[in-house]
A and B are shown apart, each in its own frame.
Chain A
Amino acid sequence: GNSVTQMEGPVTLSEEAFLTINCTYTATGYPSLFWYVQYPGEGLQLLLKATKADDKGSNKGFEATYRKETTSFHLEKGSVQVSDSAVYFCALSGGATNKLIFGTGTLLAVQP
């Protein structure tokens, strides 16, 4: 079945460092791919998405490119801020179902 694997955390970075959080997926067909972010004490919110191969999703300085050949959707940001500290979830939705499948989440801690 469909699944998402993302790198384990926590990831600890200094402010202005480059961020990569790896995400790979297993799916039949052509899923849509998402990154959701959960700030402390809050629910998840959509960060970015890509619905077809080679699409790049971007928002708030974050980017991720849908790579079908490597079944990946890695999240990147060129210069992180303390306010980016949160848990990041990779997710996919595919086929005829109206469901999202989430990865286990990666905790990012950015230090000043």
Chain B
Amino acid sequence: NAGVTQTPKFQVLKTGQSMTLQCAQDMNHNSMYWYRQDPGMGLRLIYYSASEGTTDKGEVPNGYNVSRLNKREFSLRLESAAPSQTSVYFCASSEGLVRTGELFFGEGSRLTVL
């Protein structure tokens, strides 16, 4: 029962390098999300996709791009990594509106930018 799977779990980058975080869910959920978690700041929404083919900015989208590849997969790309993007990244999914439903989270990807 995989749920939400993120790869990689750990990554170290140098400033200016690029990378893509992959996320896949096997629950046939419509909506998917990318959050970052930083000490003292909780979780902040980077981007989300309400349904296949759509994406929208969250609170902190600068420096990131996303692709909703299909209903299962939602990737997050850092084109030119900066030390300020050192964080733990979480992918999540929901069947419908989070107002009444539940977000299911992956285990997180810890990214360090030197």
Interface on A for B, CB 8 Å cutoff?
A: 31-32, 36, 41-46, 49, 51, 89, 93-94, 98-105
Does B21 count as interface, using CB distance less than 8 angstroms?
no
Q: How far is the CB of A46 from chain B (nearest CB, A)?
A: 5
Inter-chain CA distance A45–B107, complex, in Å, is 10
| Structural contact, B97 and A98, CB atoms closer than 8 A | yes
| Structural contact, A41 and B107, CB atoms closer than 8 A | yes
Q: How far is the CB of A13 from chain B (nearest CB, A)?
A: 21
| Structural contact, B90 and A102, CB atoms closer than 8 A | no
Q: How far is the CB of B105 from chain A (nearest CB, A)?
A: 3
| Structural contact, A43 and B4, CB atoms closer than 8 A | yes
| Structural contact, B107 and A32, CB atoms closer than 8 A | no
Inter-chain CA distance A46–B95, complex, in Å, is 14
Q: Known interface pairs A43-B108, A44-B90. Does A102 touch B42 (Cβ–Cβ under 8 Å)?
A: yes
Interface on B for A, CB 8 Å cutoff?
A: 4, 31, 33, 35, 40-45, 48, 50, 58, 90, 92, 94, 97-100, 102-108
Max chain B C-beta neighbours (<10 A), residue from A36, A44, A98: A98
| Structural contact, B103 and A98, CB atoms closer than 8 A | no
| Structural contact, B42 and A100, CB atoms closer than 8 A | no
Other-chain residue from A43, A89, A93, A103 in contact with B98 (beta carbon distance below 8 A):
A93
| Structural contact, B103 and A44, CB atoms closer than 8 A | yes
Q: Which B residues touch A99, using CB under 8 A?
A: 33, 45, 48, 58, 98
Q: Which A residues touch B100, using CB under 8 A?
A: 32, 51
| Identity of the chain B residue whose Cβ is nearest the Cβ of A89 in the assembled complex | B42
Inter-chain CA distance A43–B2, complex, in Å, is 13
Q: Which A residues touch B99, using CB under 8 A?
A: 31-32, 51, 93-94, 98
Q: Which B residues touch A42, using CB under 8 A?
A: 107-108
Q: Which B residues touch A89, using CB under 8 A?
A: 42-43
Q: How far is the CB of A107 from chain B (nearest CB, A)?
A: 10
Q: Which B residues touch A101, using CB under 8 A?
A: 45
Q: 27 A-B residue contacts at CB 8 Å?
A: A32-B99, A36-B103, A42-B107, A44-B43, A44-B92, A44-B103, A44-B105, A46-B103, A49-B102, A51-B100, A89-B42, A89-B43, A93-B97, A93-B99, A94-B99, A98-B31, A98-B48, A98-B50, A98-B97, A98-B99, A99-B58, A100-B45, A100-B103, A102-B35, A102-B43, A103-B42, A104-B42
